[in-house]
């Protein structure tokens, strides 16, 4: 009985070790130097977007059969940037869906000056954001592009599917808290992917009247100023 017990423990330990190795291989971290080279020193020519907590660059690097990826570099001098980084990591590792932007890996290191550096690496979306398609005049250096009715309906269905997955697809409901056209990205086939989970909130307890009132009083409304989407708080 003792020998069988020892054999069982060794077998389980070997399985756990293999699973940890495979997890590391699947989400292998990249270094600051790799990202620096892939973005030409985070050149403005590769800048594809800016937000409240950082900037997104196009990077030429081979990762998971992709030649180009998107690198979101956090501005850690901005208040709340580190919390945004942790929220996005927690949200995107908790749930997977075809209409959610896929995170490939992350970078937590020091830059060339010895300052803390944190970045997230995502799938690159060649057709940009929905904002650029709906409001082309507001986006500088963008050629005029329009969406037909079928494309608009498909994008609406994609976004609804992503929200349904966030709210009901996991063990803990996730509220995006900043759903807007600039956070809806389009791939080669114009499939919509919801991204930017820096303000995401986990509803770890079923909401009741008292907790909802407390949340309203202490947390307030999250999201972009001047834009509060229906159904998101």
CA distances to 94, 103, 233 from 106, rounded to whole Å, are 15, 8, 28
Question: The whole model's pTM is what?
Answer: 0.74
Query: Looking at the predicted structure, is the pLDDT value of residue 233 above 50?
Result: no
Decide if 170 contacts 226 (C-beta within 8 A). Answer: no
**Rounded distance, CA 102 to CA 27, Å?**
12
What is the pLDDT at residue 62? Answer: 80
- At 190-231, the pLDDT tens digits run 999 999 988 888 887 655 544 444 343 334 555 555 555 554
What is the pLDDT at residue 20? Answer: 38
Q: Do domains 32-123 and 130-218 have the same CATH topology?
A: no
Per-residue confidence band for 6, with pLDDT thresholds at 50, 70 and 90: low
Which of 36-45, 89-98, 105-114, 194-203 is predicted least confidently? 89-98
Q: List Cβ neighbours of 105 (8 Å cut-off, separation of 6 or more).
A: 27, 28, 29, 30, 63, 121
Query: Looking at the predicted structure, is the pLDDT value of residue 46 above 80?
Result: yes
Per-residue confidence band for 147, with pLDDT thresholds at 50, 70 and 90: very high
Average pLDDT score over residue span 31-35: 93
What is the pLDDT at residue 3? Answer: 62
Average pLDDT score over residue span 89-108: 87
Catalytic residue among 40, 111, 116, 178: 178
Verify whether residue 40 is a known catalytic residue.
no
Which of 15-24, 58-67, 137-146 is predicted least confidently? 15-24
**Rounded distance, CA 75 to CA 51, Å?**
10
Average pLDDT score over residue span 93-111: 89
Q: Three-state SS across the chain?
A: CHHHHHHHHHHHHHHHHHHHHHHHHHCCCCCHHHHHHHCCCCCHHHEEEECCCEEEEEEEEEECCEEEEEEEEECCCCCCHHHHHHHHHHHHHHCCCCCECCEEEEEEEECCCCCEEEEEEEECCCCCEHHHHHCHHHCCCCCCCCCCHHHHHHHHHHHHHHHHHHHHCCCCCEECCCCCHHHEEECCCCCEEECCCCCCEECCCCCCHHHHHHHHHHCCCCCECCECCCCCC
Instruction: Report the 10 Å Cβ neighbour count for 64.
Output: 13
CATH T-level fold of 130-218: Transferase(Phosphotransferase); domain 1 (1.10.510)
The pLDDT > 90 percentage for the chain reads 42
The highest-confidence range among 9-13, 14-18, 130-134, 209-213, by mean pLDDT, is 130-134
Multiple choice CATH, 32-123, 3.30.70.3170, 3.30.200.20, 1.10.10.60, 3.90.950.20: 3.30.200.20
Provide the token pair at 204. Answer: 């770890």
Decide if 214 contacts 226 (C-beta within 8 A). Answer: no
What is the pLDDT at residue 222? Answer: 57
Annotated binding residues for ATP, written as ranges, equal: 72
Q: Where are the domains of the chain?
A: 32-123, 130-218
**Rounded distance, CA 110 to CA 193, Å?**
30
Q: List Cβ neighbours of 172 (8 Å cut-off, separation of 6 or more).
A: 94, 202, 203, 204
Query: Looking at the predicted structure, is the pLDDT value of residue 17 above 60?
Result: no
State the number of CA atoms in the 13 A half-sphere of 200 facing the CB.
Answer: 26
What is the pLDDT at residue 225? Answer: 55
Average pLDDT score over residue span 120-136: 91
């Amino acid at each position: 009985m003792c020998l069988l017990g020892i054999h069982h423990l060794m077998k389980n330990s070997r399985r756990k070790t293999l699973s940890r190795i495979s997890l590391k291989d699947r989400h292998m971290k990249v270094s600051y130097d790799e990202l620096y080279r892939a973005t030409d020193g985070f050149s403005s020519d590769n800048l594809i977007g800016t937000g409240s907590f950082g900037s997104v660059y196009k990077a030429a690097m081979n990762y998971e059969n992709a030649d180009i990826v998107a690198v979101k570099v956090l501005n850690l001098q901005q208040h709340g940037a580190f919390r945004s980084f942790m929220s996005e990591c927690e949200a995107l590792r908790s749930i997977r869906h075809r209409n959610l932007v896929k995170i490939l890996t992350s970078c937590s290191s020091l830059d060339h000056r010895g300052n803390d550096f944190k970045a997230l690496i995502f799938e690159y979306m060649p057709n940009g954001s929905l904002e650029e398609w709906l409001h082309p005049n507001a986006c500088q250096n963008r050629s005029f592009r329009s969406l037909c009715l079928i494309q608009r309906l498909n994008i609406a269905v994609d976004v609804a599917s992503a929200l349904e997955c966030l709210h009901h697809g996991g063990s803990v409901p996730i509220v995006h808290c900043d759903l807007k056209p600039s956070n809806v990205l389009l791939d080669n086939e114009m499939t919509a992917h919801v991204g930017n989970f820096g303000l995401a909130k986990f509803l770890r307890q079923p909401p009741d009247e008292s907790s909802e009132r407390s949340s309203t009083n202490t947390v307030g409304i999250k999201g972009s100023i001047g834009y509060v989407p229906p159904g998101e708080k």
